[in-house]
């Protein structure tokens, strides 16, 4: 399964503050930025797909996950410094190999370890157009953060210089239709702005915790966990990997208009959970979906409705136990919603357990961690021994 050391490295992204040499209206967090980047990358890739350009969706997924891991390892190197270092190709190769050596023993799955090694050491591992999409999403998500910083520092040191540099970087990707549409303030810009607002929504908002985690960062953690779980499935089809990752990224999308409603409130009154879900879908139809291209809507709804159930085709619910034996082919469009639920619950477990480990404890946090442990005790889902997650995490 997953080692605690790898889980801790992923979770480190919640503790890395970006733009920490500038006045900020809120802390801008590493994993939040990467989640927003992947949401933007999805949109850019959809446009490129429609335009008929060749790229690899799985490379976009791998590039997103492994770049987060890489940046978590070298979090002490500020972006301007790393940009200068990057001009020395031989030095970068040595640095990347050092990062791989530091991380390699955290992987238990040999295929994932090899993927990470290839990402760190092979210049052409990621399809060039997939890398271009990732790079464009990276720079635009950075620019989105910068606009928040600029508003707090309108006359700050080098603010105008940074602005010009970022605009010039974005200009390099104007041949991508998605970037053109964002810069021309087409409706997709509204979607990008909306998803960026998920960083303002603090999870467990009624409880003090360290570190605080946002809905935006939570979705990236869930997507990463979902990817690693899915890769444990023997001979897993590419479409399951695609669906399970992007399902993780977008599973909380409706919360951009409803906010994060805690489970005790949802379950407080019979029928409350169902009513909240109905309102989520109604508000999504009114505020979120109109900002997306019509051709994408069926897939986004596939990711956001019945998101924790096993599904195939256009949303037909099936038994999770039959996914491997009956539906492990791209033609079925398989989606492991129950496995995604494990990732969601385990992410919540990590959010509570890390706070407890930091010394910020409460009865609610302790009960939450115990409830998740009990829920998955002895459980194997899609041939993935999910119960081992907690055994590994508890072995300190």
Query: Which pLDDT tens digit goes with each residue over 101-142?
Result: 999 999 999 999 999 999 999 999 999 999 999 999 999 999
Tell me which of 192 and 254 has the higher pLDDT.
Answer: 192
| Residue 24 belongs to domain spanning | 4-200
Same domain, 196 and 238: no
Indicate whether 205 belongs to any domain.
no
Say if residue 18 is in the same domain as residue 158.
yes
Final residue of a structural domain among 169, 200, 231:
200
Q: Is 206 a member of any domain?
A: no
Range with lowest mean pLDDT among 151-160, 217-226, 310-319, 356-365: 151-160
Tell whether the model's pLDDT for residue 4 goes beyond 70: yes
Could you tell me which residue, 238 or 260, shows the higher pLDDT?
Answer: 238
| Best mean pLDDT range from 62-66, 148-152, 285-289 | 62-66
For the ranges 7-21, 52-66, 150-164, 224-238, the lowest mean pLDDT is seen at 150-164
Q: Does one domain contain both 83 and 163?
A: yes
Judge whether residue 262 has pLDDT over 70: no
Q: Is residue 210 part of a domain?
A: no
Q: Is residue 37 part of a domain?
A: yes
Q: Tell me, yes or no, whether 72 and 183 share the same domain.
A: yes
Q: Is there a single domain that holds both residue 260 and residue 384?
A: yes
pLDDT surpasses 60 at 82: yes
Band (pLDDT 50/70/90 cuts) for residue 346 is very high
Specify the pTM.
0.94
At residue 396, the pLDDT reads 47
Q: Are residues 196 and 220 in the same domain?
A: no
Higher pLDDT: 89 or 100? It is: 100
Residue 181 and residue 260 in one domain: no
pLDDT at 265: 57
Establish if 207 belongs to a structural domain. no
244 and 316 assigned to the same domain: yes
Q: Do 369 and 327 reside in the same domain of the chain? A: yes
Stretch 360-381: mean pLDDT, rounded? 94
The residue-averaged pLDDT of 303-323 equals 95
Residues 226 and 257 in one domain: yes
Query: CA-to-CA distance for 276 and 250, rounded, in angstroms?
Result: 18
Report the pLDDT averaged over residues 262-289: 78
Mean pLDDT of 36-44: 98
Asked whether residue 272 is domain-assigned, the answer is: yes
Could you say which of 171, 200, 229 is where a domain stops?
200
Residues 228 and 186 placed together within one structural domain of the fold: no
Cα separation, 36 vs 24, whole angstroms: 18
pLDDT classification of 371: cutoffs 50, 70, 90: very high
Choice between 75 and 291, residue whose per-residue pLDDT is larger: 291
The position carrying tokens 């599904």 is: 311
Whole-number pLDDT of residue 151: 92
Number of domain units in the chain: 2
pLDDT at 171 over 80: yes
Assigned domain for 321 exists: yes
One domain for residues 130 and 250: no
> Is 208 among the domain residues?
no
């Amino acid at each position: 399964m997953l080692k605690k050391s790898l889980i801790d490295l992923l979770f480190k992204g919640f503790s890395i503050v970006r733009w920490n040499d500038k006045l900020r209206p809120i802390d801008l967090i590493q994993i939040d930025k990467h989640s927003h980047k992947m949401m933007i990358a999805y949109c850019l890739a959809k446009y490129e797909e429609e335009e008929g350009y060749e790229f690899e969706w799985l490379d976009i997924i791998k590039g997103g996950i492994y770049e987060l891991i890489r940046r978590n390892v070298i979090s002490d190197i500020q972006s301007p410094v790393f940009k200068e270092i990057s001009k020395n190709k031989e030095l970068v190769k040595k640095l990347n190999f050092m990062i791989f050596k530091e991380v390699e023993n955290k992987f238990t799955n040999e295929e994932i370890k090899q993927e990470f090694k290839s990402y760190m050491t092979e210049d052409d591992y990621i399809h060039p157009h997939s890398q271009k999409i990732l790079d464009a999403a990276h720079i635009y998500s950075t620019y989105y953060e910068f606009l928040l910083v600029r508003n707090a520092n309108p006359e700050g040191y080098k603010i105008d210089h940074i602005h010009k540099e970022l605009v010039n970087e974005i200009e390099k990707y104007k041949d991508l239709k998605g970037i053109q549409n964002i810069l021309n303030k087409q409706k997709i810009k509204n979607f990008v702005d909306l998803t960026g607002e998920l960083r303002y929504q603090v999870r467990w908002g009624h409880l003090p915790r360290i570190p605080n985690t946002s809905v935006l960062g939570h979705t990236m953690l869930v997507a990463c966990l979902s990817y690693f779980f899915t890769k444990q499935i023997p001979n897993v089809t590419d479409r399951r990997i695609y669906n399970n990752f992007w399902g993780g990224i977008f599973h909380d999308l409706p919360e951009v208009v409803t906010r994060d409603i805690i489970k005790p409130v949802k379950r407080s009154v019979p029928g409350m959970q169902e009513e909240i879900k109905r309102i989520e879908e109604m508000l999504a139809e009114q505020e979120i979906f109109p900002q997306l291209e019509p051709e994408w809507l069926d897939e986004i709804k596939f990711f956001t409705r019945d998101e924790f159930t096993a599904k195939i085709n256009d949303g037909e619910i099936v038994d999770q136990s039959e996914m491997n034996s009956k539906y492990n082919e791209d033609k079925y469009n398989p989606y492991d919603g129950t496995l995604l639920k494990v990732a969601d619950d385990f992410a919540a477990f990590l959010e509570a357990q890390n706070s407890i480990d930091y010394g910020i404890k409460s009865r609610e946090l302790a009960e939450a961690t115990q409830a998740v442990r009990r829920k998955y005790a002895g459980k194997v889902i899609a041939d993935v021994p999910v119960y081992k997650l907690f055994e590994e995490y508890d072995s300190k």
